[in-house]
Amino acid sequence: MAYAGPFTIEPAAARFLERDAALFIEGAFCASDGNERLAVHDPSTGAVIAHVPDATAADVDKAVRSAHAAFSDGRWRDLRPADRERVLLRLADLLEERGEAAAQIETLEQGKSINLSRMLEVGASVDWIRYAAGLSTKISGRTFDLSLPGGPAHWTAYTRREPIGVIGAIAPWNFPLMIALWKVLPALASGCSVVLKPSEVTPLTALLIAELAVEAGVPAGVFNVVTGGGAVAGRALTSHPLVAKLSFTGSTATGKAVGHAAIDGMKRFTLELGGKNPALVLRDARLDKVIPGLMAGGFLNGGQVCAAASRIYVEAPLYDDLVAGLRQAIGGVTAGPGLDPQAQLNPLASAQHSMKVRGFLDDARAAGAQILQGASVPDKGYYVSPALVLDAPEQAQLTRSEVFGPVLTITPVADAEEGLRRANDSDLGLAASVWTQDIDQAMTLTRRMEAGTVWVNSHVFIDPNMPFGGFKQSGLGRDFGSEWLNGYTEEKAVCIAH
């Protein structure tokens, strides 16, 4: 397919879209075993910009076997750690060099602002690759003194951390490039092999990573990509006996299915799932910080962020001013395609998702909520105007479920205690924020918030050096930080009598 939209794109991005996309197995692009193909849409127009294979179970089997053979013969895991590090650093350099084309492809398939694609999908990903590259050379075990009776006088016991094996990585469509890398990087840094299944909505940049990985020196078979849907390709990956660990980001419902499949096969698993993240604003908070902070926290990437602010609880004296400030801010946003760098509000990733978000708003309106919507949006494309929802009934679907769109509910509370109780009244517990100038209040509330990450006076900042993951139904396991590779390695105890 050729890109036929109104923007000028990099020749490398145009060439990427023009060629016939294929699966990536054993270090090369290859055809699918079946004939089904999936269309990839530009969310700003709905136009089809590419097709990818809808992988069959046989395709997935081929990819897993390739990854397993590469793992078994040690072509990657037995490299010196410093050599794995060097390859990953080269991958970072390549992504940086081709960054503009990568950012444009990401914006074209996902809809997000080109500025965000440059800053996060490419810029932050480059930092994430360099961080993970450094971990390759930091893998270490522990030593122990033993007191076993009846043995020799001396024992030496230590642990080694060894790569788990083939990682089945299942990625979502909100940050297709960055979140795919959050799975691929710890796998490669620790010496594992990978089969990555990107979301069927946004499969293109995974194929771009594969291309760059080969150029960087990742050996054939170590990194494979199968494009396709969850029902066939996803299930085939989660049930494959040669896959040792599943790493999944997406909805809580699918995450549970992936977890069940993992337990059935006794695979290791990491699940990074949904959020319904509260922001608790105390009466002493500075509105000049809160308003831009919650605009970013709630509307970054159109709210399609698992850690996005979603429910604002504000102490009553500040309620009117906060509503007025946010209302003015959403009214000033201009909507347009992601490739227009001036457009601050971009389409959501798919027609299906934009209808789902509009459905949440319609239900809440019918249940008596007052909905203040911002800028008008183009007729064509998957746009949803940013919304501030007042008086949302506590049991409404919009109040309790992950919306994953540009929607903030805002509710006055009598005091911090009521705010905390309502903030914690959710099955989900991914992230939260507290807004106050009072350090004592901040410290107390951060301890009592039921969430994997709590920000004070900011929301939605994620860093490679800070562990990330969910409490409650928001997932299992942690990504990032110095212990990131623990999720991709097994700890083996060695005990020597001498």
Ligand X SMILES: NC(=O)C1=CN([C@@H]2O[C@H](COP(=O)(O)OP(=O)(O)OC[C@H]3O[C@@H](n4cnc5c(N)ncnc54)[C@H](O)[C@@H]3O)[C@@H](O)[C@H]2O)C=CC1
Binding site residues, ligand LM24SWP5, CB under 6 A: 120, 174-175, 179, 249, 272, 305-307, 460, 462
404 binds ligand X (CB under 6 A): yes
Q: Which option in ligand LM24SWP5, ligand X, none does residue 307 bind, with CB closer than 5 to 8 A by kind?
A: ligand LM24SWP5
How many Å apart are CA 447 and CA 55, to the nearest integer? 46
Of 121 and 200, which has the nearer Cβ to ligand X?
Answer: 200
Scan residues 251-270 and list those touching ligand X (CB under 6 A): 251, 254, 257-258
402 binds ligand X (CB under 6 A): yes
Scan residues 328-367 and list those touching ligand X (CB under 6 A): 353, 356
Min CB(375)–ligand LM24SWP5 separation in Å: 23
User: Which entry of 272, 417, 483, 491 is annotated as an active-site residue?
Assistant: 272
Residue selected from 273, 300, 339, 445 as contacting ligand X according to rule CB under 6 A: 273
Min CB(299)–ligand LM24SWP5 separation in Å: 12
167 binds ligand X (CB under 6 A): no
Q: Phi then psi for 161, rounded to 5 degrees?
A: -105, 120
302 binds ligand X (CB under 6 A): no
492's CB contacts (< 8 A; 6+ apart) are: 159, 160, 161, 162
How many Å apart are CA 23 and CA 26, to the nearest integer? 10
172 binds ligand X (CB under 6 A): yes
Q: Which of 454, 455, 453, 450 is nearest to 473 (CA)?
A: 450
Specify whether the CB–CB gap between 350 and 383 falls below 8 A. no
Q: Phi then psi for 55, rounded to 5 degrees?
A: -60, 145
Min CB(221)–ligand X separation in Å: 22
**x/- track of binding to ligand X for residues 214-253 (CB under 6 A):** ---------------xx---xx--x----------xxx--
Q: Which residue is nearest to ligand LM24SWP5 (CB)?
A: 306
Of 410 and 430, which has the nearer Cβ to ligand LM24SWP5?
Answer: 430
Min CB(207)–ligand X separation in Å: 14
Min CB(259)–ligand X separation in Å: 10
Of 110 and 199, which has the nearer Cβ to ligand X?
Answer: 199
Maximal CA-CA distance, the chain: 80
Q: Phi then psi for 54, rounded to 5 degrees?
A: -95, 95
Specify whether the CB–CB gap between 198 and 176 falls below 8 A. yes
209 binds ligand X (CB under 6 A): no
DSSP H or E stretch at residue 9: none
How many Å apart are CA 107 and CA 177, to the nearest integer? 11
Known catalytic membership, residue 215: no
Residue selected from 54, 85, 121, 200 as contacting ligand X according to rule CB under 6 A: 200
User: What per-residue string of b and e applies to 367-401 under the rule 16 or more CB within 10 Å gives b?
Assistant: eebebbbbbebeeebbbbbbbbbeebeeebebbbb
- Give Cα separations from 16 to 69, 175, 243, 435 (angstroms): 29, 19, 30, 44
DSSP H or E stretch at residue 155: strand 155-163
Specify whether the CB–CB gap between 125 and 209 falls below 8 A. no
What is the contact surface with ligand X in residues (CB under 6 A)?
170-174, 197, 199-200, 229-230, 234-235, 238, 249-251, 254, 257-258, 272-274, 306, 353, 356, 402, 404
Task: Give catalytic residues, as residue numbers.
Answer: 272
